[in-house]
Structure 1
Amino acid sequence: MEPFTERVVEIIRDIPKGKVMTYGQIAALAGSPRGARQVVRVLHTLSEKYKLPWHRVINSKGEISIVDYESRNLQKELLESEGVTFTKHNTINLNEFQSHGHNGFMEFGF
């Protein structure tokens, strides 16, 4: 596994229950600030294998990015079961629910 991919898996695995991180935030913490699409690829290909809490990863607007209706609803249900709430516009308040670091690293506003 590539170092970036390994780091992404580690970061996602460590997102606490009831918190979320953004694709860009994870990419930056893993060493590639422009690697948000790579984070999507890692989630798509490795979530099941590594039992990643994929549902805790959202976009920078606080939205669920999944287009598929069933998967989108599943992600929302999983987040709500952990105490994450959604606004009337179906977004997550990042000020309240975003995890701000990983193993001593600080979040860079992504």
Structure 2
Amino acid sequence: MKREDFYHKVYDVVSEIPPGRVTTYGAIAGYLGVRSGARMVGYALNNLISKEGENYPAHRVVNRLGQLTGRAYFPGDSMRERLEQEGVEFTEEYTVDIENHFWDPSLNLK
């Protein structure tokens, strides 16, 4: 699969994450059939930064522990603020309550 094709598939999955829910880089990779591709999902989301006008809810993607590892790519504390506005609860300052807010693409997308 070409990198651009993979990136577009990642964006399609991310666009489906509902407000108030989060998923992980690994869950997206697994859904796309690339079990060890969590890092590639991260690369795809980092690529969004250079795309002006694209509006994907990338703030809803966290690491497997629920940590906001992508927050460096959001201005200020906006990743956390956006999640809080959607009702996502945190167990620590930058760790979401993944147990109660996890959205699994393999169960929710066909």
- Asked whether the two chains share a fold, i.e. TM above 0.5, the reply is yes
Q: Which amino acid aligns with 1:97?
A: H
- For this pair of structures, how many residues does the alignment match? 104
The structure 1 residue matched to 2:109, chosen from 100, 103, 107, is 103
SS at structure 2 position matched to 1:87? strand
Moved more, 89-98 or 50-59: 89-98
Q: CA RMSD in A?
A: 2.3
The match for 1:76 among 77, 80, 87 is 80
In the alignment, structure 1 residue 21 sits paired with structure 2 residue 27: no
Runs of 4+ in 1 over 6 A off after TM superposition: none
2:8 aligns to what? 6
| Contact 2:20 2:86 (8 Å CA) reproduced | yes
Structure 1 length-normalised TM? 0.80
Q: Which runs of 5+ in 1 are unaligned?
A: 105-110
Identity %: 34
Q: TM-score, normalised by structure 2?
A: 0.80
1:108 aligns with none
Q: Secondary structure at the match of 1:46?
A: helix
In 1: Cα distance, 2:71 partner to 2:6 partner = 26
Unaligned runs of 5+ in 2: none
